[in-house]
Amino acid sequence: MRRLDVYRTVLDQAIVPLAYIAEVDKAKKVIDAIYAGGMRSFEYTNRGVGAHKVFDLMAEHCRENYPDLALGVGSVVDAPTAALYIQLGADFIVSPMLVEEIAPLCNRRKIGWMPGCFTPSEIGRAESLGAEIVKCFPGNAVAPGFIKSLLAPSPQTSIMVTGGVAPNAENLSRWFGEGAVAVGMGSGLLRKDLLANGDYKGMEELAAKCIALVAEAKG
């Protein structure tokens, strides 16, 4: 998927589900479930030994069945890892911090890049390196009004909040009310009990609910 289409998907839907899943079959079923629920993006977090092997088969599954799904990789902390996942078909790269050497790699390959930023200086540096959307992480560590304060001197900045995002109106209204353009949702959406029980129908229904809640929170 082209980088512009990735950003458009993230901004239009304003929610990116994310998870690390160690088993290939389970990972494919998660993709099936969230896609059926209406999600059009997924961030696979690079948090386990051999995670790239699972992603490789997941990406093949998406290319064959869901070509309009933006499939990215998160928890990427160095350029070689980013290059590996881009070669395997990642549409976008997400980092928990600002890793400058990832920027030219993604820019050269026209791959979406969403670095983690926590201060105005980090945001400014990321944007000077070409970041269109920056990730505020961890969201559950910031006080009410933090996003609004970040945007005050830089209203053109697009912030996606990850960490502490919950599938309820109160939580989502906080983030979008402060000016976030999107949220990343992990365990609140891809819940451990649903994964453990193989309740993919429940996951599908929760995905659809989250899309509706986000749309309402955005107004």
**Nearest alpha-carbon partner for 70 in 158, 11, 129, 138:** 11
Supply the pTM of this predicted model: 0.97
Work out the mean pLDDT of the chain and round it to a whole number: 97
Residue 162 in contact with residue 138, Cβ under 8 Å? yes
Instruction: Report the chain's C-alpha Rg in angstroms.
Output: 16
- 128: its two tokens: 């000077």
- What domains appear along the chain, each with residue ranges and CATH number? 3-218 (3.20.20.70)
In this prediction, residue 20 carries a pLDDT of 98
One-letter amino acid for residue 207 of the chain: A
Which amino acid is present at 185?
M
**pLDDT 10s digits, 104-157:** 999 999 999 999 999 999 999 999 999 999 999 999 999 999 999 999 999 999
Is residue 219 pLDDT above 90, yes or no? no
Enumerate residues 6+ apart whose C-beta is below 8 A from 193. 199
Cis bond upstream, residue 115 (ω within 30): no
Please answer whether residues 172 and 197 qualify as being in contact, where contact means their C-beta atoms are separated by less than 8 angstroms: no
> At 11, is the pLDDT very low, low, confident or very high (cuts 50, 70, 90)?
very high
Say if residue 192's pLDDT is above 90: yes
| pLDDT tens by residue, 62-107 | 999 999 999 999 999 999 999 999 999 999 999 999 999 999 999 9
